[in-house]
Amino acid sequence: MLRTHTCGELRLDHVNQEVRLAGWVQRVRNKGGLIWVDLRDRYGLTQLIFEEDSSEKALLEKAAELGREFVVQATGKVIERTSKNDKIPTGSIEIKVTALEVLNAAKVPPFIIEDETDGGDELRMKYRYLDLRRNVVREKLQLRHKMMQETRKYMDAQDFIEVETPVLIKSTPEGARDFVVPSRTNPGEFYALPQSPQTFKQLLMVSGFDRYFQIVKCFRDEDLRADRQPEFTQIDCEMAFVDQEDILNTFEGLTKHLFKNVKGVELEEVKRMTYADAMKFYGNDKPDVRFDMKFVELNELAQGKGFSIFDSAELVVGICAKGAAEYTRKQLDALTDWVKRPQIGAKGMVYAKYNADGTIKSTVDKFFSADDLQDWADAFGATQGDLMLILSGDADKVRKQLSELRLKMGEDLGLRDRSIFKPLWVMDFPLLEWDEETARFHAMHHPFTSPKKEDMALLDTDPGAVRANAYDLVINGVEIGGGSIRIHDRATQQLMFKHLGFSEEEAQKQFGFLMEAFEYGAPPHGGIAFGFDRLCAIFGGSDSIRDYIAFPKNNSGRDVMIDSPSSIADEQLKELSIQLAVKS
């Protein structure tokens, strides 16, 4: 080995030992006849010392020539530091160097490789292999590693079998655009990269593998944002001979196991909420329940008083921000401007302050009496010092607008504490959702989700009212995982395809293999998939998943480090029977 110890290992117990370290030069401090070098590896940092009176002149000159990120090997004796550094674990010792070898010199790096760097996002993405040397980035990858190991440990203990499924599959409609791969040996035909291993894990249940999981790479050609990458990782799971309760309990167990063994956090029981209640009280199917601020509907109290904006609205609804009555007019005007931004889309905002003297001051005082405003306060459960914020308009739109306002108020009032974790099961999603563009229903989750038995009759009369045996795990307002009990018989699956607008021929072409498998004794089954990158970001206290992926893409889906995607040679296109006609 080129080293006897790592750069994070040595302590006072090692004093007077002869050691050999290898790593990267973090920085050099040259005082003429005295040189200190901070040597770094993935385990930590150790200070090296070169002294003119005790070192050979050639050794001191060699140390003076070192630059940032040089790879070196240093041999010497561990000594106690006279000026200790309590900010690092090795801060009580240093190495008095007797031999130094430069294993590889380095160019001056394009940014400072320290926790506080001067490199912007794009520059650090281009030199990601350098960015990964920084502690703050490496620690995120180490967290990811631990999450993977603990997931495997829990799943193995629950008798799950880890099975790898194919990466080159058939293109099937699952909600997002596929990435496609041309087949050289089958001209004009294409593979697709899997959006998820959905059909394969169901086939594994048909095969008798009654507990499957996989930490699997998935691919979706979607517009990107902070919590979305074109390739991402799922903890993909499926179970046979179970009902919904079994799945919720099993994966609530996984969630608690990860929090306990990775974060040292003992989670309380995971609460449950129906989709209908989530939309009614939070305007969001992934509500952040770290704070309350539930929606209160005011139609009965606010309409018919001559205020036309409320009178013409389908829904008048608001939230109560506890203790926020001291917001100034300037703050409230800024809040009104915020909800009127195109991204939110509200036409305006009404507020009512419940003042410390017991009076209620509103922007619509001339339309509503003091008694009317007191009725509002009673409906909100408001007390002196609270602020009521009210929006109105089309029901679906105004709920989404108020959801954004609620989250903003939660942030502004310090109620979204990253050290607090509030997981929630959201259940009983609609099976289908109407799409205005295509003028037909689409599966809210995917076409293999089973409807609730008691709602089956509604498929023909009121498809939009049919509830699914589907569930999402939400943590702090972020959807971490989702799943369902699956359809496991051919007749129901064909009926589902029919209501999704598939002809019998289309259904057979796309999913004939699955429906045929259902005729060979398919057990009842269901499962869930966790967004592993998002889960890591939640554990690490981040909004973006990018730092938890070793080599991520930017917001244009590009890897700027290796310059991908890129064009390919005409000869390759010819082999693939592809002719390009790129529109400018």
List the domains of the chain with CATH numbers: 12-104 (2.40.50.140), 292-411 (3.30.1360.30)
- Average of per-residue pLDDT values in the chain: 94
Half-sphere exposure for 349 (CA within 13 Å, toward CB): 26
Packing angle of the helix pair 135-157, 244-258 (nearest 10 deg):
140
Tell whether residue 200 is among the known ligand binding residues: no
Own/partner contacts of 465-468, CB < 8 Å, gap of 24 or more, are 465/430, 466/430, 466/431, 466/432, 467/275, 467/428, 467/429, 467/430, 467/431, 468/428, 468/429, 468/430, 468/431, 468/444
Tell whether residue 225 is among the known ligand binding residues: no
Tell whether residue 56 is among the known ligand binding residues: no
What are the distances in angstroms from CA 211 to CA 125, 238, 269, 559?
Answer: 39, 6, 24, 36
pLDDT at 255 over 80: yes
Query: What local confidence, expressed as pLDDT, does residue 175 receive?
Result: 67
- Inter-residue contact 193 to 169 (CB < 8 Å): yes
pLDDT at 581 over 90: no
**CA 132/CA 70 separation, integer angstroms:** 16
Higher pLDDT, 171 or 478: 478
pLDDT 10s digits, 148-205: 999 999 999 999 999 999 999 998 765 688 999 999 999 999 999 999 999 999 999 9
Cis peptide before 565 (omega within 30 of 0): yes
Q: In this predicted structure, which of 71-75, 310-314, 544-548 has the lowest mean pLDDT?
A: 544-548
Tell whether residue 229 is among the known ligand binding residues: yes
**CA 88/CA 135 separation, integer angstroms:** 12
Tell whether residue 220 is among the known ligand binding residues: yes
Query: What local confidence, expressed as pLDDT, does residue 174 receive?
Result: 58
pLDDT 10s digits, 336-369: 999 999 999 999 999 999 999 999 999 999 999 9
Packing angle of the helix pair 504-518, 198-206 (nearest 10 deg):
40
Tell whether residue 533 is among the known ligand binding residues: yes
Place of tokens 């459960």: 381
Tell whether residue 69 is among the known ligand binding residues: no
pTM (2 decimals)? 0.92
Bridge pairing between strands 423-427 and 432-435: unpaired
List all residues 6 or more positions away from 527 whose beta carbon is below 8 Å from its beta carbon.
Answer: 201, 212, 236, 237, 238, 239, 247, 483, 484, 486
pLDDT 10s digits, 402-461: 999 999 999 999 999 999 999 999 999 999 988 777 777 888 888 999 999 999 889 888
Joined together, the tokens standing for residue 386 give 């609270």
Place of tokens 């390919």: 568
Tell whether residue 221 is among the known ligand binding residues: yes
